[in-house]
Structure 1
């Protein structure tokens, strides 16, 4: 009989080695290598039978012969959550959702299950709470239905056996770090257990056409704990985000095989759980009683949704020979580059000034449309003169001082007009087409110096 082989797996990054070492050669972690039986070590397990090979050959399909019928989606009962998912849950899809402790992951999923229970069989599997604790939270939230099937279990094989018996259309696992498989001897939460548990859940979802939502813990850096392969195995990855001390929560899609990435849904944490925010643009605007220097409003694209966001800048004389560039919600290195462009092509020097930039509401802007409003806010703060009231600004700033267009410019202007804005400073290429009426006075600029002059002259 063939001798069983042993491999050593790093519990930090998932790297494998044939012999033990004190330090992982891939990630450098110490004392993280644990022994694990190699399922492919024996000749019997590694050799495929002829019948299995023939069965695999019969499953090969020509892409043109595959049916193009649309996969029916299951509505969650919360339009904001459906937006992030790309229109609802997809049967057979696997969704991984992560976020800080206490941010509202379990609360949101419990509310979704209560909304869907009438139309779709569901099952809530908890590895961190008892059924009585789940019932206590459901009553506190005032859920419309309390006849939700709940299972307190951490064994993957037992969970899948219960799922086969009840055949739910939506299965929630809270959380993946508490699960363990009897096929492995390592502790729950280890890399090998996470990989094996996720693999069995994904296999069940595809075989039974069941949608599975997996809750994942996050590390102190904000990433989902465990190997990166966990995010590659699932179909959709969602992250809960929030500003410390704020009651607003943002659910963002960073991966979605069935919809747009970077899509987001906005919720408000109330005593009765998470409530959808009907007008997200309003929460990202400070609503000053009078115009203040250093504040500019821009329109950012988050997935398929345009959002109005306030960008703030504070410029103050540097107290040392090394001026600071501090950002929150934007890229700090890009701010330093934009300040150099402003000096060279805008005629405004900030070389001896500290510059602090912030995006209101804890929003993070990664697109270049915030370049122009950020610079004009900095100029406004430096001169102590507010930008024109009810003015929206967007545009990318190039190294040569040109104002480059951004995507969906007309849709951004339409959203600004809907929110009551009256003026806009935008790239010339984003000027509305002839005949399109938006109710805005549009200043279309081609150069940075023109944008600075337009902001000053429009006052």
Structure 2
């Protein structure tokens, strides 16, 4: 009997090695190599599906200017928030990976989307983890139209593509990629090799037949997508559905998008009728207390292609520990420590013997530096136990030398704040408009000391 050939693949970067080693020499990660059994190479590993646009010869070579973009028009998913995160709609031939924690609403969101799309075009939903009865009960509970959507319970990637060849759906959902397997790969479903080969086989089918492919993926304990890192390189768009168990709001964030802006954010509310899109997220995150309290301030962040107003809260309290705590929820904890040092050096306020806790209300994760100035002013408000007026809004990046740096799209941020009734803004001087919105006072500052004087 011939000896089975094996390889070792890094789960983080996808590099392969002939033998196991503790560290991946390409990405430097430790203990990330997994054993992969190599099957026999056959012609079926690279199939040609009906409707394949390419040719075996050189006739398919075109100049970039000759490529006809009208062949692949976008079409709407039926949800404006979903379309926003996708970059404007669904692109035929695209592969989209949606990840999230169990119970976040991945299957609910895709089931709602496909039930609506099935009324105008062919759609096929592949369920590998749940039975058809379970999916039907969910659709009935949500009150979705079920007379047009086609369902299939299957976990073999070759069978899925064969059935899809017969029905020719425009949109195909595979729930989930972790349970898919291929006959030629000699390993258990969910392993690195099975996930990689199944995803490559399904993506190849989507590209060759111009089918929109949705892949549902699991996440690990630290919130990253499970499976090999090469999986994120295969697909065109990677989305992450987030939301805590005690909140009814879900955020859909784009982490990779070849057809639109990255880091775009869509907000949904989990109701009895399923996920309902929230067209004005700022109104949700600005549900503040009636009376002003110390340490609370509103800032304007930029998510993808739109501004969003969120509230940042800070609590500064005397520490009884030798090492005071620095805890940030929704913000970078290392950046918090750096900003407190800037506040001490260039603002003259010492917090070395204080515990500092900061939180972004609503579970929003702020990934940009425009929250620096608002964070420091909220810390000062809590340190002095003096509340700030509720009609103030602040944004700006703080440098290590105490300068206030401008941020992108400053004019749009100010207009968004004025639309929600804010009357005074402290912004970087380079972002201050010559003609501010009517009824709004804009204070431009260049140094941290100027911003503290404006308080």
Q: Which residue of 1 aligns with 2:398?
A: 397
Q: Which residue of 1 aligns with 2:199?
A: 198
Q: Which residue of 2 aligns with 1:253?
A: 254
Q: Which sits farther off after the overlay, 70-79 or 133-142? A: 70-79
Tell me, yes or no, if the aligned pair for 1:7 and 1:16 is still in contact at 8 Å: no
* Alpha-carbon distance, 1:287 to partner: 1.3
Aligned-CA RMSD value: 2.3
Alpha-carbon distance in structure 1 between the residues aligned to 2:15 and 2:312: 43
**Structure 2 residue 453 is the aligned partner of structure 1 residue 447:** no
SS in 2 for 1:415: helix
SS in 1 for 2:320: coil
C-alpha offsets along residues 24-65 of structure 1, whole Å, 9 cap, x if unaligned? 55355499424323639x9xx99xxxxxxx934332222232
**Structure 2 residue 407 is the aligned partner of structure 1 residue 406:** yes
1:160-175 superposed matches below 5 A:
160-175=161-176
Q: When the two structures are superposed, what TM-score results if normalisation uses the length of structure 1?
A: 0.91
Could you list the runs of 5+ residues in structure 2 that have no partner in the other structure?
47-54
Tell me, yes or no, if the aligned pair for 1:297 and 1:373 is still in contact at 8 Å: yes
SS in 2 for 1:306: strand
Q: Which residue of 2 aligns with 1:50?
A: none
Q: Which residue of 1 aligns with 2:293?
A: 292
Tell me, yes or no, if the aligned pair for 2:6 and 2:35 is still in contact at 8 Å: no
* Alpha-carbon distance, 1:4 to partner: 8.5
* Alpha-carbon distance, 1:68 to partner: 4.3
Q: Which residue of 1 aligns with 2:52?
A: none
Alpha-carbon distance in structure 2 between the residues aligned to 1:198 and 1:4: 27
Tell me, yes or no, if the aligned pair for 1:124 and 1:173 is still in contact at 8 Å: yes
Q: Which residue of 1 aligns with 2:37?
A: 35
Alpha-carbon distance in structure 1 between the residues aligned to 2:355 and 2:57: 64
Q: When the two structures are superposed, what TM-score results if normalisation uses the length of structure 2?
A: 0.92
1:149-188 superposed matches below 5 A:
149-188=150-189
* Alpha-carbon distance, 1:77 to partner: 0.8
Alpha-carbon distance in structure 2 between the residues aligned to 1:18 and 1:24: 13
1:253-272 superposed matches below 5 A:
253-272=254-273
Q: Which residue of 1 aligns with 2:323?
A: 322
Q: Which residue of 2 aligns with 1:374?
A: 375
1:320-399 superposed matches below 5 A:
320-399=321-400
1:15-30 superposed matches below 5 A:
15-19=15-19, 21=20, 25-26=23-24, 28-29=30-31
* Alpha-carbon distance, 1:340 to partner: 1.1
* Alpha-carbon distance, 1:283 to partner: 1.7
Tell me, yes or no, if the aligned pair for 2:292 and 2:388 is still in contact at 8 Å: yes
C-alpha offsets along residues 149-201 of structure 1, whole Å, 9 cap, x if unaligned? 00000011110011000000000000001110111121111111111111111
SS in 2 for 1:90: coil
Alpha-carbon distance in structure 1 between the residues aligned to 2:347 and 2:191: 54
Tell me, yes or no, if the aligned pair for 2:10 and 2:16 is still in contact at 8 Å: no
SS in 2 for 1:421: coil
* Alpha-carbon distance, 1:321 to partner: 2.5
Tell me, yes or no, if the aligned pair for 1:156 and 1:181 is still in contact at 8 Å: yes
Tell me, yes or no, if the aligned pair for 1:318 and 1:353 is still in contact at 8 Å: yes
Tell me, yes or no, if the aligned pair for 2:392 and 2:423 is still in contact at 8 Å: yes
1:14-163 superposed matches below 5 A:
15-19=15-19, 21=20, 25-26=23-24, 28-29=30-31, 32-37=34-39, 39=41, 55-69=56-70, 71-163=72-164
Alpha-carbon distance in structure 2 between the residues aligned to 1:157 and 1:366: 40
* Alpha-carbon distance, 1:313 to partner: 0.6
C-alpha offsets along residues 116-161 of structure 1, whole Å, 9 cap, x if unaligned? 1121210000001111111111000101344310000001111001
Could you list the runs of 5+ residues in structure 1 that have no partner in the other structure?
47-53
Q: Which residue of 2 aligns with 1:437?
A: 437
* Alpha-carbon distance, 1:334 to partner: 0.8
